[in-house]
């Protein structure tokens, strides 16, 4: 890592080392802010089942990965199966699955606004 190496080289000169640390820290902060600006919940439309989708689907990846899709109900259904069979998502209860599927196909379907 460039930052770590630079930091070691500069360690002898304490004042410079502090400056490098500040720059590296600032860069990490910048990348963080870029990846998730603000509350990740901001990007899912309001609706029944939203909280469940947020907590279930953000366990492994950004909720953005979900929110940016526009899929039919059938494709969402297949996506849920894929998450369970291939990606290690715990099997959902019948009621939760229905709520999640209804939310996704209502708010993130191909004719939903972007």
Residue 21 or 89: the one with the smaller Cβ distance to ligand HEC is: 89
Binding site for ligand HEC (CB under 6 A): 56-57, 59-61, 65-66, 69, 79-80, 83, 87-89, 100
Work out the end-to-end distance of the chain between its first and last CA atoms, rounded to an integer number of angstroms: 37
Q: Closest distance between ligand HEC and the C-beta of residue 40, in Å?
A: 13
58: DSSP letter: T
Q: To 10 degrees, what angle do helices 94-107 and 73-85 make?
A: 130
Q: Closest distance between ligand HEC and the C-beta of residue 3, in Å?
A: 28
44: DSSP letter: S
Residue 16 or 41: the one with the smaller Cβ distance to ligand HEC is: 41
Residue 99's CB: how many other CB atoms inside 10 A? 19
Q: Closest distance between ligand HEC and the C-beta of residue 28, in Å?
A: 24
Q: Cα–Cα distance between 21 and 2 in angstroms, integer?
A: 11
Residue 56 or 107: the one with the smaller Cβ distance to ligand HEC is: 56
């Amino acid at each position: 890592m460039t930052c770590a190496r630079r930091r070691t080289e500069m360690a002898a000169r304490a004042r410079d080392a502090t400056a490098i640390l500040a720059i590296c820290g600032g860069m990490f902060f910048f990348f963080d802010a870029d990846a998730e600006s603000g509350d990740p919940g901001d990007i899912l439309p309001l609706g029944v089942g939203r909280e469940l989708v947020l907590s279930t689907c953000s366990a492994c990846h950004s909720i953005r990965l979900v929110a940016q899709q526009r899929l039919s109900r059938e494709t969402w259904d297949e996506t849920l199966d894929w998450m369970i069979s291939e990606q290690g998502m715990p099997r959902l209860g019948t009621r939760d699955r229905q709520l999640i599927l209804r939310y996704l196909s209502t708010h993130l379907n191909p004719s939903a606004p972007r």
